[in-house]
Structure 1
Amino acid sequence: MTELVQRDSAVLVHFTLKLEDGSTAESTRANGKPALFRLGDGSLSAALEQELVGRKVGDQHAFTLAPEDAFGGISPDLIQYFSRRDFIDAGEPEVGAIMLFSGMGGSEMPGVIREISGDSITVDFNHPLAGQRIKFDIEVLEIDPALEAGDADPVS
């Protein structure tokens, strides 16, 4: 086991993400299941990785990241408009509902129903936390853990 988090480390952490209004957006502590991240694999922003590098087991670290360093800004290109007929098989959508849509190559993408106006339905494919400053509270539990399958939920 490595003593400090490196640029290519796997890190088992507990984290809490809070919005500027103080509300909790997500927390691994709530369900008691830590998250496993692999630095350098592209799943975390460079700014978030930088906050983890050099930490050791037991470290607790709180920091805030701007939208572009956390979950990105809101991209107008990821807001799409559909016809009500596109939802015939899925049933009547509701504003705020998260639905899965088939993307290119058969992959599925979650989208949030933002507006329903007559025959037009607005769907937002931005990350739900895009455009927000996020306060992170991270506790490093293990560095390069030797985990058995099922010990932690990987975060992608």
Structure 2
Amino acid sequence: MVKRIPAGTTVSVHYIGTLDNGRIFDSTPDDEPLVFTLGCGEIFPALEAEIAGMEAGEVRNLVIPSAQAYGPRLDANILKLDRSSFPEGREIRVGQKLVIEFGGNNARTMMVTEVTEGAVTLDGNHPLAGLDLTFAVKLHGIH
């Protein structure tokens, strides 16, 4: 039986995060592991649970389904706004990130996905929403 690392313990890990197509979306530098405290919500709970079952020096490939990572892509997070909603003369281009303010001091960063003469389409989904994530993880240390 594997002994679990208790919540409140600080650990350090090296990882490479990849998508199903093999594209790397994130990684730690070779000389700088990610240091975090278990149980503090600093990483995905599903990834944290897997790391808590590892031993120092152990290496694992961990697949985190989209529902346990950034969730599904939601149509509700896509907005199409009239071009007149933006200041005249402001350059808006596909791929640009805009901070959009909603009522109640609520603001979100959204990605411009389409620009036409009359409208701008914005996507508020996280870029990795709807994607399963694979992490090659080495538990560097338990502190």
Q: TM bucket by the smaller chain? A: 0.7 to 0.9
Aligned to 2:23: 23
Answer yes or no: is the 8 Å Cα contact 1:68–1:131 preserved in 2: yes
| 1:62 partner letter | N
For residue 117 of structure 1, report the CA deviation from its aligned partner.
2.8
Q: TM-score normalized by structure 2?
A: 0.79
Unpaired runs of at least 5, structure 2: none
Q: How does 1:43-82 map to 2 (within 5 A)?
A: 43-82=42-81
Answer yes or no: is the 8 Å Cα contact 2:69–2:133 preserved in 1: yes
Aligned to 2:140: 141
Q: Which moved more, 1:59-68 or 1:40-49?
A: 40-49
User: Cα–Cα, structure 1 residues 33 and 89, in superposed 2: closer, same or farther, change >3 Å?
Assistant: farther
Aligned to 1:118: 117
What is the CA–CA distance in structure 2 between the aligned matches of 1:134 and 1:90, rounded to whole Å? 40
Q: Which moved more, 1:85-94 or 1:127-136?
A: 85-94
Number of residue-to-residue matches in the alignment: 141
Answer yes or no: is the 8 Å Cα contact 2:18–2:135 preserved in 1: yes
Based on CA coordinates, which of the two structures has the bigger radius of gyration? 2
Q: Could you report, residue by residue, the CA deviation over 1:69-109 in whole angstroms, capped at 9, with x for unpaired residues?
A: 22211122221222323332893121122233345664653
What is the CA–CA distance in structure 2 between the aligned matches of 1:89 and 1:56, rounded to whole Å? 58
Percent identity, aligned pairs only, is 27
Counterpart of 1:29 in 2: which secondary structure? coil
CA-atom RMSD, angstroms?
2.7
What is the CA–CA distance in structure 2 between the aligned matches of 1:104 and 1:143, rounded to whole Å? 44
| 2:60 partner letter | H
